[in-house]
Structure 1
Amino acid sequence: MRRARRGLVLALAPLTAVVMAVSGCSGDSGGGEIKGAQEQPKGVNDINPRDPGSLKDGGDLRWPLDRLPDNFNRNQVDGTDGYAKRVMDALMPHAFRAKADGGVAVDTNYFESIELTSKQPQVVTYRINPKASWDDGTPITWEDLAAQARALSGTDPAFRVGSSSGYREVERVEKGRDDREAKVTFRAPYGEWRALFADLYPKSTNTDPAVFNQGWVERPVLTAGPFRVESVDRTGKTIILARNDRWWGPRPRLDRIVFRVLERGALPDALANKEIDFYEIGSNVDLFQRAKGIADVQIRQALQPKYNLTLFNGAPGSVFADPKLRVAVQRGINREVLTRALVGQILPDAKPLGNHVFAEGTKDYRDHSGEVGFDPDRARRELDELGWKAEGDVRRKDGRELAVRFVMSANNPFNEQVSKLYQDQLRQIGVKLVIQPVPSSEFSKNHLVVGNFDIAPIAWELSPFPIDGNTSVYRLANDVQQNYGRVGNDSINRLFEEAGRELDDARRAELANRIDEEVWRAGHSVPLYQVPDAVAVRSTLANTGAFGFADRDYTAIGFTG
C-alpha cells in the first residue's frame, strides 16, 4: 500500500516483488535480457513515450488489480495502499508530481506556482490555477488547503490519519491576495515542505471526521481530475472511470479506465485474450515466462524505489514487545539465503537491501544492515539470556512457547515461499513460526492496520522526501498512523524532529541515515531486497509501463492504433 499524501513515496501493499526486468521485447521474439537492480539505468523509465496528440482518441484501458481499495480517501489510514493510489491519482489534485529522476515538479494543472516566500517565519505561498474546480463546479480555494492542514495535523484524534508528517508543523493557513491563494506558515522550519498536499481533498471531507473516515469507503465522493467516477461495483469487483468533461487540463486520450480484480495466476491468459492491457509481473517467474510468449506484448523495465520487508509487531502485550527479543530473533534470519532463494535463479547478483530510508542507487544510500546481521549463535545466546530456554524444538519461558504468527495475504505464491523459508530458518534457533494466510481483502484492515499479527510480509515504496515520507512509519506516537508494528523509541523521534527542521539537504540526509541505524537497532523490520519494475504491456499502449520513480500522467496514456 502506498503512503498517503504523496506522489512517489513510502508505501505499503500486500507483498509483491518484481524479480526480473527485461528490455522492451515483444512476445513475438520470446527473447529479452534479464536485468537486476544493479544493472538498471538510473533516473529513467520505460513507458513507450509518445506525443499524446499522435495517439488514438478514445479507447478503454483495462487495468488489473489484486483487490479494490478499502477506502478512497488516501489521507485516511485505511486508504494508504497502492490500489487506492492507482485509482485516485486520476481523480484528485496534487501539489507536486514525482519525476523519473527522483525529483518533483509543481503540478500546474492545479497550481500556477508554489514558492517558499519567507524563511523567518517559513511561509510557502500556493497560487491555485484559476481554472481548477471540483466536479460539482465549486472552485478549489485556500479553504480546501486550510481544512486539510487542520485535519491532518494530528490534533484531533477523531480524524484517523495515515500520516501527519509536515502538517504537524503548520501553524496556520491563511487566505492570500484572493481565494485562489493560500499562505501556509510553519511554526518551525520544515525542510520537506514540498511533500504537503500531494493528495488534496475537498473542504467538505476534511471538516467532518465521519466523512473523512467513512465517507469515501464505498466510492469517491467529490473529485477534480482528468477522469471521473462512472461506477464502483464491489460485488463485481470493478471500478470504471470515464473522461471528465469538466476537466480544464490536457484532454485525456482514453475514454475510460476499467479497473478489474483478477487473480494473479489469471493475468497471462487475460492479457493474451485482450481482456486486460498490461500486468505487473511480480515475483512469479511463470508470469514472466508466459508474458514473453504473448504476441504483441512488451516487457518494460525501470528501477523503482520499492522493496520487500518483514514487519515485526512490537505493541505492548505482543510477543515481540521486548526490543531485545525482536533483535535476537532477527539475528536468526539469513537475508542472503532468502534473497538467493527468492530471486537468485534469475538474478544471481541480487543483494539484500541495507537501508529502510534510501533506495540503493541513490546518492545517500548507506548499508546499515550490520547492526542486526545474521548470527544464529548469537541469537541463541541472547534468547537464552532473555529466559527463552530450548525445550526440544521450541523455546519456552514461564511455560509459554516462543510461537509467532506469520500473517500474510493468501493465494500469493511469493508469500507462501517466503513464509516457509522463514519457518525453516527460525526453527533452527528454537522459534516456532505459525503461518496464517488470510484473504487479501482482509489483510490490511483486519490485521495490518489494527496490529493483529506478529510478523507480516509487506512492501514499501520509498519517498523522494526521506523525512516526511518516513515519519509516520518509524515515529512512535499515540496514533499509529503507518507504524503498524508500533515499534520505535525516543531517539528515533528526536532525530525525526531535528531532521524535519533541517533546511540543508545534505545535513537532512545525514540525519536520515542516523534514523536508519536506529531503526535497525530497534528491530522495527527486516528489509529483503529492492525490486526492479517490470511490466508486461500491450505494444500499442503508449506512455505507460514501468514508471520507476515517476508518477503516471493519466492524460497522456493512450493507444498508438
Structure 2
Amino acid sequence: MSHVGVGPRAVMRSVAFLTAGALAVPALAACTSEEPKGKPLAGRDTAAAARARVSDGGTLRWAADSVPETLNAYQSDADATTARVAQAVLPSMYRMDETGRPARNADYLESAEVVDTEPKQVVVYKLNQQAVWSDGREIGAADFAAQWRALSGKDSAYWTARNAGYDRIEKIERGGDDLEVKVTFSRPYADWKSLFSPLYPKDVMGTPDAFNDGARRQLKVTAGPFAVQRVDTKEDEVVLTGNPRWWGEPAKLEQIVLRSVPRDKRVSQLASGKLDLAEIDPETAEEVTVAAGPRDAGTGTPLMGPEGSPSASRQGRSAAQALRSWAIAKGSDEDAADEETLAREEREETLAKRERRQRALSGFEVRKSLEPAYTQLALNGADGPLADERVRRAVARALDRGKLAKAVLGPLGLPAEPVGSHVALAGQPAYSDGSGALGEQNAKEARALLADAGWVPGGPVKKQKEAEKAAGAEGDKKGDGGDDKESEGDDGTYIVGEDEKNDGKNEGDGRDDDAKDDGADQESGEKHSSGKNTAQGGAPGAYAPKGTAAPAAAEAPVAKDGKALTLRFVLPSGPGSDALRTVADRVSDMLEKIGVGTDITKVPDESYFKDHIASGEYDLALYSWPASAYPATDARPIYAKPVPAADGSLNVAQNYTRVGTDQVDQLFDRAMGTLDEGEARDLLRKADSRIWAAAGSIPLYQRPQLVAARKNLANAGAFGFETPVYQDMGFLKKGASGSRPSATPSS
C-alpha cells in the first residue's frame, strides 16, 4: 500500500505515508549557513512542453488514492486528494518550486514583503488586480481575515486540524487600496510565506457551520484554473472543469477526473484505457517499461513448432515441450489428445490476453523522480528496551543506510543516497547531513552500547519454536531457566556456552534443526523472528569453490535478566508494501549481527497507522513523512517532546516515536521566531543534530516516485518537489513531443 501525493502545505505534515514508503545524527560543529547540497537528487519528469504544442480540450483521467471525505484542506480528515483538488481550484500565495523552496505565485500575488519588524512584524500583500472568485467578487482582505479567525485557534467552534502561524497574527487590515492586505503579527514568524496557501473564500471560513460542513462535498466558490463540478461517491471520482472566470493562462484540458483506484488495480485500468496518469509501484513500472519498449527487439526468428506457430517460443516453452504437446494433441489417445488440445487453447488465450495488455500499455511510459518525502525507521522510545537511549543508538549504529537506500532505489535507476536530515531533503536550504551526531555504522560500537545497557551475550534465552509451542499447546508449563550445566534443558531454554561468550560464534550449540524450522516459518508465515542462528548446509559431496569466503556468523543473541532482546517490528501487509518488507528484512539481518532479534508482524493497511503507530503498539516501524518548505513550523510537532495532557494521558502531537527533548523544542521555536534566514537555517540544523543523537527516528531514503503516463500527455507525471501547474497539462498536438530529462539527477 502507499499513501502518496504531497499537496498544499496545510496538509503536508498532517498525514504520514506508509510505504515505499525511519530516522537517526552530525557533529554540531558541522552546522553552518552554507548549503552543502544546492540541488535535489532528482529533477521532475513531466514531459515538459510549451503551451503552443499542447492541444486545447480533452479529459485527463488521473488515478487518486481516494475520494476525499472533505474538500477543506484544514480539517483533520483532509487527505492527498483534498490537497490535489485545492491546488487546482484555490488560490495559493506561494507554491513549491523544483528545489523545494517557496515561490511567489504570480497568478495571485504581485508582491509580498515584510515592511516592519519593530515593534511588530508587518507583512503587506499586493494582490493581482485580476484575481477574482468564481462568483465575480475580488479576492481581498475580507478573505484573509476570515481564514485567520477560523484558523487562529481562538474559537473552538471551528473544527480545525492546525493553527500554526495563524495563532501569531494580531490583526489583518485593508492596505492602501483594495489590492493590499496588511497582516500584523503579535510575535515574529519566520514561515509567514506558509500562510494563506490555500486561501478559501470568506463564504467557507466566515462561520463555524460553513467551515465545518460547507466545504466537505462541494466548493461553490473557487478561484483557480479549474472548478469543482462534482464529487461523485458512487463513481468514486472528483470531476474538475475549467473555470470560466479564470484570468490567467486558460486551462488546456476541458476536464480533470480524479478517480479513486487501488494501487493493485491501476495497471489493469491503464491497459483498459480508463486511466491516463497513475502513480504506480515498481512491479507495474517494469511491466509498462517492457511494453513501451521496441517490440520484437530480440534477435533471430521465433522458434517454430510443428504447426508452424511461434507460440511455443512466445510462451517461453522449449522446442521439446512444444513437440511433445503437438504429438499428444495429434495422438491416438483421444482422452489425452482432448485434454492437451484444451490446455493448448488455454495457453493460447492466456498469451493472447497478455499480448493485448502489452499492446495497450505500449502507449504509456514511466516517468520517475524522487518524492518530496522520506522513509524512516521509527524506534518507539515510550517503554520497553528502546526506552533506553543506548539501545536505540545501538540499533541505529547497526544499520547500513546506504545499502538500504540502494536496495529500494538502485533497481529503479534513481539516486540511491541515504537521507541525512530530519527537517529537509537534498536541494532545500536547511538540508545538511546531520547523521554524524549519531555516528557511522559500526557493529562493534553497537554491541558495546548494548553491553553498557546490560544486554550481553549469554544467559537463558527462550527459543522461539519452543516458546510458541508451549504457548499454544501447554500454556501452563513454563520454563524456569533450566540447568546452567546443560546446553539445552527440558524447559526449552539454552545457555550460551563460554566459546560463544568469548568470540561470538555459534558453533556446537546444537540448534541447527531449530534454525531450519525458523527459516521455514519465515517464508510461510505472516509473523516470524529473525533473532536466530541459521545453519549452512548442502547436499553430500557438494563443496564450495576454493577461496570462497565463509558466511558471516550471526552474533550470539544478547540477553538481560534471562530475556533475549527481541523487538516488535510492525509492517503493513497490503499491495505496494513490497519495498517496506524488503527493507524490514534487511534491517532484521543487520540487527541480528549485533545479537538483536526482530519479531516481524504484518498487519492490514487500514489498521497499521491508527492501531499500531499512533497508539504506540510497536518497537520498530517503517513509515514516511513529506518534506516541507517550512520545516520550523511543520517539523516541530513531529519531534516535539511529548507532554502530559490534562486527563493524565501523554500528548505526543505527531511524535509517534515518543522521543523528544526540551532543547530540540527550543531550537525549533527560535528558528520559527527569527526573520534572519541564515540564523533559522543554522538553528534547524542544530535541532536536526540533536534529533539524530536521540535516535528515535532514522531517515533512510527519499521515496521513489513512479508514474505511468500516456506518451502524448505533457506537463504531468513525476513532479518531484514542484507544485503542478494544472492549466498547462494537456495532450500534445499531432507531431509534437514533450521533452524528457536526459538524466534523472537534476542538472
| TM > 0.5 | yes
The one of 415, 418, 438 equivalent to 2:583 is 418
Q: Please name the residue that 1:489 is paired with.
A: 661
Q: Please name the residue that 1:24 is paired with.
A: none
Deviation at 1:124, TM superposition (A): 0.7
Is structure 2 residue 421 aligned with structure 1 residue 355? yes
What do the CA deviations read for 1:491-514 (whole angstroms, capped 9, x no partner)?
111111211223232222221111
Q: Distance in 1 between matches of 2:213 and 2:116?
A: 37
Deviation at 1:490, TM superposition (A): 1.0
Is structure 2 residue 153 aligned with structure 1 residue 86? no
Given that residues 371 and 517 in structure 1 are in contact (C-alpha distance below 8 angstroms), is that contact kept between their aligned partners in structure 2?
Answer: yes
Give SS of 1:127's match: strand
Given that residues 48 and 541 in structure 1 are in contact (C-alpha distance below 8 angstroms), is that contact kept between their aligned partners in structure 2?
Answer: yes
Given that residues 281 and 288 in structure 1 are in contact (C-alpha distance below 8 angstroms), is that contact kept between their aligned partners in structure 2?
Answer: no
TM-score by length of 2: 0.63
The one of 413, 426, 435 equivalent to 2:601 is 435
Q: Please name the residue that 1:311 is paired with.
A: 378
Q: Please name the residue that 1:25 is paired with.
A: none
Q: Please name the residue that 1:537 is paired with.
A: 709
Q: Note closer, same or farther for the CA distance 1:559–1:114 as it changes in structure 2 (3 Å cut).
A: same
Deviation at 1:351, TM superposition (A): 2.8
Greater share of helix residues, 1 or 2? Answer: 2
Aligned-partner residue type, residue 268 of structure 1: V
Q: Please name the residue that 1:100 is paired with.
A: 98
Deviation at 1:62, TM superposition (A): 0.9
Given that residues 61 and 259 in structure 2 are in contact (C-alpha distance below 8 angstroms), is that contact kept between their aligned partners in structure 1?
Answer: yes
Give the share of equivalent positions with the same residue, in percent. 34
Aligned-partner residue type, residue 233 of structure 1: D
Give SS of 1:188's match: coil
Q: Distance in 1 between matches of 2:450 and 2:234?
A: 48
Q: Please name the residue that 2:640 is paired with.
A: 475
Deviation at 1:375, TM superposition (A): 4.2
The one of 623, 633, 648 equivalent to 1:458 is 623
Is structure 2 residue 361 aligned with structure 1 residue 196? no
Deviation at 1:219, TM superposition (A): 5.5
What do the CA deviations read for 1:71-121 (whole angstroms, capped 9, x no partner)?
433223432x43332232112221112222444332233334322222322
Given that residues 97 and 105 in structure 1 are in contact (C-alpha distance below 8 angstroms), is that contact kept between their aligned partners in structure 2?
Answer: yes
Q: How many aligned positions are there? A: 537
Is structure 2 residue 111 aligned with structure 1 residue 113? yes
Q: Note closer, same or farther for the CA distance 1:328–1:269 as it changes in structure 2 (3 Å cut).
A: same
Give SS of 1:241's match: strand
Q: Please name the residue that 2:685 is paired with.
A: 513
Give SS of 2:723's match: coil
Given that residues 92 and 199 in structure 1 are in contact (C-alpha distance below 8 angstroms), is that contact kept between their aligned partners in structure 2?
Answer: yes
Give SS of 1:253's match: coil
Q: Note closer, same or farther for the CA distance 1:4–1:305 as it changes in structure 2 (3 Å cut).
A: closer
Aligned-partner residue type, residue 568 of structure 2: V
What do the CA deviations read for 1:274-295 (whole angstroms, capped 9, x no partner)?
221123344x145234334232
Q: Note closer, same or farther for the CA distance 1:138–1:262 as it changes in structure 2 (3 Å cut).
A: same
Given that residues 388 and 453 in structure 2 are in contact (C-alpha distance below 8 angstroms), is that contact kept between their aligned partners in structure 1?
Answer: no
Q: Please name the residue that 2:266 is paired with.
A: 267
Given that residues 405 and 453 in structure 1 are in contact (C-alpha distance below 8 angstroms), is that contact kept between their aligned partners in structure 2?
Answer: yes
Give SS of 2:77's match: helix
Q: Distance in 1 between matches of 2:216 and 2:380?
A: 26
Q: Please name the residue that 1:29 is paired with.
A: none
Aligned-partner residue type, residue 435 of structure 1: T
The one of 406, 411, 436 equivalent to 1:340 is 406
Q: Distance in 2 between matches of 1:439 and 1:406?
A: 11
Q: Distance in 1 between matches of 2:634 and 2:291?
A: 39
Given that residues 59 and 256 in structure 1 are in contact (C-alpha distance below 8 angstroms), is that contact kept between their aligned partners in structure 2?
Answer: yes
Give SS of 1:468's match: helix
Give SS of 2:582's match: helix
Q: Note closer, same or farther for the CA distance 1:70–1:232 as it changes in structure 2 (3 Å cut).
A: same
Q: Note closer, same or farther for the CA distance 1:160–1:408 as it changes in structure 2 (3 Å cut).
A: farther
Stretch of structure 1 that moved more, 339-348 or 57-66: 339-348
What do the CA deviations read for 1:499-540 (whole angstroms, capped 9, x no partner)?
122323222222111111111123332211124544332121
Give SS of 1:125's match: strand
Deviation at 1:158, TM superposition (A): 6.4
Q: Please name the residue that 2:724 is paired with.
A: 552
Given that residues 407 and 453 in structure 1 are in contact (C-alpha distance below 8 angstroms), is that contact kept between their aligned partners in structure 2?
Answer: no
Deviation at 1:241, TM superposition (A): 1.8
Q: Distance in 1 between matches of 2:370 and 2:398?
A: 30
Q: Please name the residue that 1:49 is paired with.
A: 48
Given that residues 285 and 706 in structure 2 are in contact (C-alpha distance below 8 angstroms), is that contact kept between their aligned partners in structure 1?
Answer: no
Q: Distance in 1 between matches of 2:444 and 2:157?
A: 47
Given that residues 169 and 186 in structure 2 are in contact (C-alpha distance below 8 angstroms), is that contact kept between their aligned partners in structure 1?
Answer: yes
Deviation at 1:162, TM superposition (A): 4.7
Q: Note closer, same or farther for the CA distance 1:328–1:208 as it changes in structure 2 (3 Å cut).
A: farther
Q: Distance in 2 between matches of 1:72 and 1:454?
A: 35
What 5-or-longer segments of structure 1 have no aligned partner?
19-37
Deviation at 1:234, TM superposition (A): 3.6
What 5-or-longer segments of structure 2 have no aligned partner?
22-36, 293-361, 464-530, 532-558, 644-650, 734-747
Q: Distance in 2 between matches of 1:165 and 1:553?
A: 26
Q: Distance in 2 between matches of 1:398 and 1:146?
A: 63
The one of 437, 453, 465 equivalent to 1:371 is 437
TM-score by length of 1: 0.81
Q: Please name the residue that 1:183 is paired with.
A: 182
Q: Distance in 2 between matches of 1:7 and 1:100?
A: 19
Aligned-partner residue type, residue 104 of structure 2: V
| RMSD between superposed Cα atoms in Å | 3.8
Q: Note closer, same or farther for the CA distance 1:103–1:402 as it changes in structure 2 (3 Å cut).
A: closer
Given that residues 319 and 404 in structure 1 are in contact (C-alpha distance below 8 angstroms), is that contact kept between their aligned partners in structure 2?
Answer: no
Aligned-partner residue type, residue 366 of structure 2: I
Given that residues 628 and 634 in structure 2 are in contact (C-alpha distance below 8 angstroms), is that contact kept between their aligned partners in structure 1?
Answer: yes
- 1:390-409 pair list within 5 angstroms: 391-392=461-462, 403-408=567-572
Q: Distance in 2 between matches of 1:91 and 1:247?
A: 10
Q: Note closer, same or farther for the CA distance 1:519–1:214 as it changes in structure 2 (3 Å cut).
A: farther
Q: Distance in 2 between matches of 1:107 and 1:209?
A: 29
Q: Note closer, same or farther for the CA distance 1:330–1:102 as it changes in structure 2 (3 Å cut).
A: closer
Q: Distance in 2 between matches of 1:69 and 1:54?
A: 33
Q: Note closer, same or farther for the CA distance 1:340–1:508 as it changes in structure 2 (3 Å cut).
A: same
Given that residues 151 and 207 in structure 1 are in contact (C-alpha distance below 8 angstroms), is that contact kept between their aligned partners in structure 2?
Answer: yes
The one of 14, 19, 23 equivalent to 2:17 is 14
Q: Note closer, same or farther for the CA distance 1:117–1:354 as it changes in structure 2 (3 Å cut).
A: same
